[in-house]
Structure 1
Amino acid sequence: MPQQCKLLLDNYTGQYTAGSPIQGRIILSLDSDITLRGLRITLSCIEHTEWIATETYYDSEANEHKSRDTQFVGNTEVISIKQWLYGDQHATTNLSVGQHIYPFLINLQQNIPSTYQCEKGSIYYKLTATVDRPMALDYEDEMMIVVYSPIDLNFLARPEDLQPSSYSDEKTVCCWCCAQGPITMDIELAKQTLIPGEHVEVKMRLTNMANINVTGVSFELKQIISYKVTDPSRDDKQESHILIDLKDVGLGAHGENTYIFNVTLPPNVVLPNFAQCSLFSVEYIYTATAKLPSTHTNLEVTMYPKVGHIPLGNRFGPSHYNPHPPIGGGAQPPLGWTNPSAPPLDEKQQTMGYPEKVSGPNEVPPPSYESLNMP
């Protein structure tokens, strides 16, 4: 049977930015008259997680509890936008033999998830063109697209986050039941927001009135990504990545010193946007540490910065960021972004509604966008 329904994009790269339009057309090639309810275009954003974990169950035959490896999964439709281009779902109409072309325009919202994939799951966008036919199989065509969604700190931060802030902690070191003097750490943070390529000064003032040495000091920024599954039961996992790790020399007993850390987030760091997601989340933690000898616990101060791509107060994004990918060429991603590739749909995925688990970092890399939509 000849192709009945074909979905084509004006931007053949299939890469879009949050807030930009998706334009294209649906071509119907009919070799006979048909009855239909209508023609619609659907944009879906799906988040999917999965992993193998141990599940405890009761074996009634053996009359005991046992454990087994089980696949845990989670699936949520984050976004669903439907447009009827011809007709509607409430009545039937007819189309005559020949070629019919229907243009469409879907405007992506701001603050939506980015296309994302890792070993534990993925977030992917899919366009589906459907000829809704009563009492017959629908004609369909679908296409995966890639969406860049820079993290806009205007949605996450407050004006006071641009002001300096201070934090402190203190501990008294004890040795053989005799208390020594305190060790005090005071942190001054120039502001609580951070974007890739930006420099933020952090001042650490350390006062050591104890009889032991502080063996070293450090300041790090950690990214913690959390994943959730919902079936057959709820479970969650976390991965942490150290994005910044600065170290300096220690401090002797009864000493005092001020350390200056110039915190710079690398321009090529990956900052995923999980806005509106329920199975994925991310947080960032600053940790200032004064390392003590092994017989004592370290002195630590933790802070929670707002990390993103677009700075607070700039609704148009940084100057290096192009909000509209060029037609006829690849999109230029912002700092803090690496190009993802959308996972393909095979027959199993089309039936179950989510993609197969994508490759891990040591496996074969996922296919590129161009390979996904080849005829």
Structure 2
Amino acid sequence: MATCLVEFDKSPTVFSPGDKVTGNVKMQIPEDEFKARKVRMEMIGKAYTYWEGNVKNNHKIKNGDIARVRHNCADHKGKIVYCRFETIVWKSDGSKNDMPSGQHIFPFSFQLPHWAPPSFEGDLGFIRYFIKVEIDRPWKFDDKFITCLTVLPSIDLSLIPNSLVPSKKHICEQFGVVLCKSGLVKMEVRLPKQGFVCGEGIPVKIVVDNKSSKTFSKISLKVLQRVTYTGFRDGFVNSQSHPCIGNEKEKVTYATRLNAQIRVEERKVLEEIVEIKISKNEKDEVDKSITIPPLPPSTKTCEIIDVEYFLKVKMSTLGTLKSAMKLELPFIIGTVPIDKDRKFDYKKSVFGYAATVLKNRDVQKFAPLYPVYKFE
């Protein structure tokens, strides 16, 4: 069997929209007689969503008989192709289709589109860019090799007005039953700003005014990634890329089928627990910093995948009859901080190689790289 290795000229393999992706494909052909018609290389960038329809079995009584009624909900899919370039790097020059043994080196150069959204791996979809090498084998299954790369647009927090604006939210709740009220509790959560980068700490201030008979003993802080996927019943989004002509901007046009649906999936990124003791008629302030791990940036630039982040704060009591208060604050993850001089390293996504469970021929284990800045 042939082996194939894709080597990029750039390391780490993180590219910006509009960049040229260059390198070499090194292919080792075995000494035994190896048949092949051609070797095709592709550069593909696409967004893909998929979820299966639910099957429900209900029982219906008619004329005294019980009949099973089966309801099928169709699968939903979506696809946007942002780039697809193909080139034939080798072709047989005879009817015998003999490919010489030994090592073959094929250079490549592809240009990413300027509109490319960031790489993302999720439960029900992904935004993925990859080099695909395929050996066309006569009378055999084709040999296919896929190597992924990370594409990351510049999301500069200094250019997003809301990223520097403080954020706060509060909640007041009356605890106890109707005939036995235990008092009012107020909780307020404050953030000094709304924009952050990976590696940066989110300084959270929680102000509690407890006028109830309850004693609160724990605060949970969770960083949540909320992804909105769009899918289409029994169909895809058909897309086609157009290069710029004259002064026209590059663009992607696409036609959607009817019956679009959305699915919102939430993933817990991390959780911090703070032990407290706020008793009756007490006021207190709690300060806690949460460091953001390697994560894809907030994005709404993909037509079928939106990525948002939230801080969820939950304050609770102990005992058999637990009471709790909850608040959520949105925030933004960018790729470029306000301080441009900060150093960073690229690190694999906190979700690792198992971020997606989709069944797709272009799905393989892959963890995108994201910039993690140093705040020391």
Q: TM-score range by the shorter chain?
A: 0.5 to 0.7
Q: Give the number of the structure whose residues are more often strand, by fraction.
A: 2
1:307 CA displacement: 1.9
Aligned residue in 1 for 2:316: 291
What SS does the corresponding residue of 2:280 show, helix, strand or coil?
A: coil
Alignment of 1:296-311 (within 5 A): 298-311=324-337
Deviation string, structure 1 residues 137-182 (Cα, Å, up to 9, x no partner)? xxx9986442323464427972342243332221233445355542
1:18 is aligned, of 16, 30, 37, to 16
Would you say how many aligned residue pairs link Structure 1 and Structure 2? Answer: 301
2:193 and 2:212 map into 1 onto residues whose CA distance is 31
2:265 is aligned, of 238, 261, 270, to 238
Residue 158 of structure 1 aligns to which amino acid in structure 2? I
Pair 1:254-2:281 in alignment: yes
Q: Structure 2 stretches of 5 or more lacking a match?
A: 26-39, 59-66, 95-105, 135-141, 235-258, 369-376
Alignment of 1:351-370 (within 5 A): 355=361, 366=365
1:277 is aligned, of 276, 294, 302, to 302
Aligned residue in 1 for 2:77: 74
Residue 53 of structure 2 aligns to which amino acid in structure 1? A
1:125 is aligned, of 119, 126, 129, to 129
2:351 and 2:178 map into 1 onto residues whose CA distance is 54
Aligned residue in 2 for 1:164: 166
When residues 103 and 45 of structure 1 are mapped into structure 2, their CA distance, relative to the original with a 3 A threshold, is closer
1:74 and 1:262 map into 2 onto residues whose CA distance is 39
Contact map agreement 1:185 1:206 (CA 8 A) in 2: yes
1:263 CA displacement: 1.7
Contact map agreement 2:162 2:195 (CA 8 A) in 1: no
Contact map agreement 1:16 1:22 (CA 8 A) in 2: no
1:305 and 1:271 map into 2 onto residues whose CA distance is 13
1:8 and 1:335 map into 2 onto residues whose CA distance is 19
What SS does the corresponding residue of 1:53 show, helix, strand or coil?
A: coil
The root-mean-square deviation of aligned C-alpha atoms, in Å, is 5.0
1:265 is aligned, of 289, 292, 296, to 292
Contact map agreement 1:161 1:193 (CA 8 A) in 2: yes
2:288 and 2:207 map into 1 onto residues whose CA distance is 11
Residue 311 of structure 1 aligns to which amino acid in structure 2? P
Contact map agreement 1:244 1:264 (CA 8 A) in 2: no
Aligned residue in 1 for 2:373: none
Aligned residue in 1 for 2:50: 50
1:127 CA displacement: 4.8
What SS does the corresponding residue of 2:163 show, helix, strand or coil?
A: helix
Aligned residue in 2 for 1:229: 231
When residues 211 and 264 of structure 1 are mapped into structure 2, their CA distance, relative to the original with a 3 A threshold, is same
Aligned residue in 1 for 2:222: 220
Contact map agreement 2:309 2:333 (CA 8 A) in 1: yes
TM-score (normalizing by structure 2): 0.60
Contact map agreement 1:18 1:112 (CA 8 A) in 2: no
Deviation string, structure 1 residues 31-67 (Cα, Å, up to 9, x no partner)? xxxxxxxxx9864322333344324699xxxxx8833
Residue 316 of structure 2 aligns to which amino acid in structure 1? K
1:75 and 1:156 map into 2 onto residues whose CA distance is 33
1:78 CA displacement: 3.4
1:339 and 1:146 map into 2 onto residues whose CA distance is 14
Deviation string, structure 1 residues 238-297 (Cα, Å, up to 9, x no partner)? 24224232322131111111111122223xx44377664344332211122221466575
When residues 11 and 231 of structure 1 are mapped into structure 2, their CA distance, relative to the original with a 3 A threshold, is farther
Overall identity of the aligned pairs, in %? 14
Aligned residue in 1 for 2:200: 198
1:188 is aligned, of 187, 190, 197, to 190
What SS does the corresponding residue of 2:75 show, helix, strand or coil?
A: strand
Residue 311 of structure 2 aligns to which amino acid in structure 1? Y
Aligned residue in 1 for 2:344: 320
1:216 and 1:102 map into 2 onto residues whose CA distance is 58
1:160 and 1:235 map into 2 onto residues whose CA distance is 26
1:217 and 1:102 map into 2 onto residues whose CA distance is 56
What SS does the corresponding residue of 1:304 show, helix, strand or coil?
A: strand
2:114 is aligned, of 81, 103, 109, to 109
Contact map agreement 2:48 2:78 (CA 8 A) in 1: yes
When residues 320 and 13 of structure 1 are mapped into structure 2, their CA distance, relative to the original with a 3 A threshold, is closer
2:217 and 2:352 map into 1 onto residues whose CA distance is 41
Contact map agreement 1:216 1:251 (CA 8 A) in 2: no
What SS does the corresponding residue of 2:344 show, helix, strand or coil?
A: coil
TM-score (normalizing by structure 1): 0.60
2:367 and 2:204 map into 1 onto residues whose CA distance is 40
